[in-house]
Structure 1
Amino acid sequence: MGERKRYSKEFKQEAVRLAKEPDRSVLQVAQGLGISDSALHRWMREFAGQGGAAFPGHGKQVLTPEQAEIKRLQRELDIARQERDVLKKAGGLLRPGTMTAFEFIEGHRDEFRLDVMCRMLGVTKSGYFTWRGRPISTRKTKDAELKDEIERIHIRSKGRYGVPRVHAELRAAGTACSRRRVARLMREAGLRGKVRKRYKATTQADPAHPPAEDLVRRNFEVTAPNTVWVSDMSYLPTKEGWLYLAVVLDLHSRLVVGWSMGERLTTDLPLSALKMALDRRRPPPGLIHHSDRGSQYTSSAYRGALEAQGALASMGKKGDCFDNAVVESFFSTLKRELLLDHVFHTRQEGRSQVFEYVEMFYNRQRRHSFLGYRSPVEFERIREPVAA
């Protein structure tokens, strides 16, 4: 390959915003996005010097972001609070001749989590139960350890993962256990993934522009990258109004190869997502681009961009979401995992969290059931042909 990757103005702006958050390092953000830290440092210098005029292109000026309250991390924050409070309270009680660690744990079981107290006081659960005179079985000990690991996985996924993906994470880490056992332990811990919401259409056909033929015909299994792309748009609620999102996915790996966000459902929105995808992937002529019959996709500007690339337009039937089921499934997943228990205060907050979700979580970390519980990036890497 050897070609230098190109990134849109929108991508660079959101990467810079993410790197400027106080709880992140430039290296951490760069690794999460699959870019070099030197490139990210360069973007930050350019933005610091030029502000909204940096990164000439089709993006809009970056707004000054406010630190958003992240409600879905309440569980993780509660654990951090308990860790602090355990150390603070234990420091005044665990003195020679007064109280042992096990006695402190016994007296504060109703106030703090057992695993937090044991971890912060440097003792084990099994040691505590032995001291308490309640021997536990090897199976229960292993269940307790496995439940701790399940909770950590659930927290890392921001509460998005259900049983299948938690089980896949455990297997990837070398932990042998059945899916039924994971389900039981998650049920006991009160953990569950986020559920789907019903589909709602967002695009309308334009009778002045005839639709293209359906070249995909619901054949969503593609054996090579940059062969068939699917595209669509959806909406995300914020307290400032709707934030619209357009995406382009590669059917081979389900990777989001292009995206764009804006305040209006104009042709520029999906066109920007398409341009990002073309810049990043540079597909050969003959690529099939599949979408619905929305006026944005049948417009002369959009069709002209496809023709200039040598790509073939394909469109599903009117009002049939199943003809574009893969990208509809993506939107359903994004809304379930990002919006189920949260409403964005501003459009900028929405932009930032969608950027992080797509580029750092969905593309590079989230385990996809269709891909054998691999992430899209990992799936493409293991499927990439070895050069002779």
Structure 2
Amino acid sequence: MARPSKYSAEFRSDAIALWQASASRRTYRDVAADLNVTPETLRTWMRDADAPPAASGASQDTAAELARLRADNARLLKNEKGMAAGAGDPAPGSRVFRPRDEVKTAAWDFVSAHAEKFGIKRICRVLDVSRSGYYRWIAGAEARAERRAADDALVAEIREIHAEHRGNYGALRIHAELRGFGHTVNRKRVARLMREHHIVGRHLRKKKRTTIADRLAPPVPDLVQRDFTAGALDEKWCGDITYVQVGAAWLYLACVIDIRSRRVLGYSMASHMRAELVIDALQAAVAARGSGVSGVIFHADRGSQFTSSAFAQVCDRYGIRRSMGKVGSSYDNALAESFWQGLKRETMHQRLFSTMLQARLEIFQWLTYYNARRRHSALGYLSPMEFEQQHHTTGKLQLAA
């Protein structure tokens, strides 16, 4: 009898859709790495699904994606303050230099340009600047040129990282990414260059409450008490539900997160918000950990899905201990709330999904990116999977010692 797969049918279906959407730009190895599976496993899923060759229709998909991006860009340029064509240009006859411009540097440039005709001493006296300052400026010309060249090279790398992560990373994560590439660079320098070149990460948006409590449900203790730390993997999990607008409808998403590594262990998406949604996410998390999860604390809010008898039975079956915060207190499930903020900030910034398929693909792509590549501040700017790999490596070394 074949051993049951630890990957749910929903995960395999979304993985196939992700490969089909990115086949013209990425390799099997790259996509499989984000999914935390082997390339051959992904190929097997493609064969089993009898999927058409990835190249067919790739040009049409690319053209459609390009058209959508152009439309989004045009809308953002139109609506974003200061981004329209010509915005910020100086008015005719206005002053050349604005506050904080390098006026002193312009004075030195003027001295250099006219020194041969008028003499340095006379020009410095008329401009009321010191000759010693001018000579120091001349002596530092080579060093300034080297700094500008280094800054230009660094800005190019910052733009590349910013674009690779779809404009989501701010100064802290870009600094961590540069350090991960082996660069020794100061965080304040990265922030300064991003500020000077108007490179900005995504900002938080207002959240919307989604929990519908069941006042008649049996009481469940709060085993976490707002302490979202854990000493080991599979010591504490947390979960929650959010929803995404798709046209005039809603797509609901449930996730289960390991509090130690911040990894999304299981997820489920559906057009309903019944208890099956959170049960599927929990079962996916159990399968990802190989079923040995007895004693794990699962923390959630007091939504009716988590207080349902069906969900309680599934937890009892796997030996999972339920934990719940107070009604209407987002701080009692702050880690999950923070996760939703990141998801919505980075996938739904000033956009509305038009189809369920598009929404599913975008969300699944972000979840795999979050687990495999997105640097997390609580993990020393490692991704959740990198953190777990280091955790397992450290444990093996301690056992060997």
Give your verdict on TM over 0.5.
yes
Return the letter of the residue paired with 1:15: A
Select which of 346, 355, 369 maps to 1:346.
355
Residue of structure 2 in register with 1:186 after alignment: 194
User: Are the counterparts in 2 of residues 255 and 363 from structure 1 also a CA contact under 8 Å?
Assistant: yes
Match of 1:218 in 2: 226
- Give, in angstroms, the shift of residue 31 of structure 1: 2.2
| Residue identity opposite 1:299 in structure 2 | S
Partner in structure 1 of residue 12 of structure 2: 12
| Whole-angstrom CA distance in 2 between matches of 1:243 and 1:260 | 10
Is the contact made by 2:286 and 2:293 (CA closer than 8 Å) also made in structure 1?
no
Q: Distance in 1 between matches of 2:199 and 2:192?
A: 10
- The alpha-carbon distance between structure 1 residues 73 and 153, as it changes in their structure 2 partners (threshold 3 A), is farther
Aligned partner of 2:257 in structure 1 is 249
- Whether the 8 Å CA contact 1:240–1:347 is kept in 2: the answer is no
Q: Which residue of 2 aligns with 1:148?
A: 156
In 2, Cα distance between equivalents of 1:324 and 1:217: 9
Structure number with larger C-alpha Rg: 2
| Separation (CA, whole Å) in 2 of partners of 1:7 and 1:158 | 27
Of 197, 216, 219, the residue aligned with 1:208 is 216
Say if 2:254 and 2:278, in contact at 8 Å, map to a contact too: yes
Which deviates more from structure 2 when the two are superposed, residues 162-171 or residues 191-200? 191-200
Does the aligned pair in 2 maintain the 1:240–1:346 contact within 8 Å?
no
Query: Aligned pair 1:34/2:42, yes or no?
Result: no
Aligned match of 2:371 = 363
* Paired residue type of 2:284: M
CA shift at 1:334, angstroms? 0.6
Alignment of 1:83-232 (within 5 A): 137-232=145-240
Contact 2:32–2:42 (CA<8 Å) still a contact in 1? yes
Q: Does 1:289 align with 2:298?
A: yes
The aligned amino acid for 2:191 is A
Q: TM-score, normalised by structure 2?
A: 0.74
SS of the residue corresponding to residue 49 of structure 2 reads helix
Deviations 1:89-132 (A, max 9, x none): xxxxxxxxxxxxxxxxxxxxxxxxxxxxxxxxxxxxxxxxxxxx
- Residue in 2 that maps onto 1:321: 330
Q: Deviations over 1:16-51 (max 9, x none)?
A: 11222333333331122121121111111111279x
Distance 1:10 1:73 in 2: 29
1:168-215 Cα shifts (integer Å, max 9, x gaps):
011111111211111111112211110111232212111232231100
What is the alpha-carbon distance in structure 1 between the residues aligned to residue 17 and residue 363 of structure 2?
Answer: 13
Q: Could you say what secondary structure the match of 1:48 adopts?
A: coil
Task: After superposition, give the CA deviation of every residue in 1:324-381 in whole Å (9 maximum; x if it has no partner).
Answer: 000100000010011113221211111001111101x100111111111111111111
Residues 17 and 49 of structure 1: CA distance in aligned 2, closer, same or farther (over 3 Å): closer
What amino acid is the match of 1:201? R
Q: Does 1:307 align with 2:309?
A: no
Q: Residues of 1 paired with 2:72 and 2:151: CA distance?
A: 24
2:133 aligns with: none
Which residue of 262, 269, 282 corresponds with 1:261?
269
Unpaired runs of 5+ residues, structure 1, are: 51-64, 76-133
Q: In the alignment, is residue 379 of structure 1 matched against residue 387 of structure 2?
A: yes
The whole-number CA distance in structure 1 between the counterparts of 2:242 and 2:321 is: 23
1:142 to 1:72, Cα distance in 2 relative to 1, 3 A: farther
Q: Distance in 1 between matches of 2:168 and 2:297?
A: 32
Q: Percent identity?
A: 39
Q: How does 1:21-60 map to 2 (within 5 A)?
A: 21=21, 22-48=24-50
The 3-state SS of whatever aligns with 1:363 is helix
Which amino acid letter does the alignment assign opposite residue 196 of structure 2? Answer: E
- SS at structure 2 position matched to 1:20: helix
Question: 1:44-67 deviations in whole A, cap 9, x for unaligned?
Answer: 1111279xxxxxxxxxxxxxx995
Query: Contact between 1:226 and 1:283, CA under 8 Å: does it hold in 2?
Result: no
**Alpha-carbon distance in 1 for matches of 2:279, 2:69:** 31
Shift of 1:5: 6.0
CA contact (8 A) 2:33 2:372 kept: no
Contact 1:73 1:155 in 2 (8 A): no
User: Following TM superposition, by how much is the alpha carbon of 1:151 offset from its aligned partner in structure 2, in angstroms?
Assistant: 0.4
In the alignment, the residues of structure 1 paired with residue 279 and residue 225 of structure 2 have an alpha-carbon distance, to the nearest angstrom, of 23
The number of equivalent residue pairs is 313
Using a 3 Å threshold, how does the CA distance of structure 1 residues 251 and 11 change in structure 2: closer, same or farther?
same
Instruction: For residues 68-92 of structure 1, give each alpha carbon's deviation from its aligned partner in whole angstroms, at most 9, with x where no partner exists.
Output: 53469969xxxxxxxxxxxxxxxxx
Aligned counterparts of 1:170 and 1:73: Cα–Cα separation in 2: 29
- Superposed counterparts of 1:68-87, under 5 Å: 68=65, 69-70=68-69
- Rate the CA distance shift 1:167–1:342 in 2: closer, same or farther, 3 A: same
Change (3 A) 1:72 1:177: farther
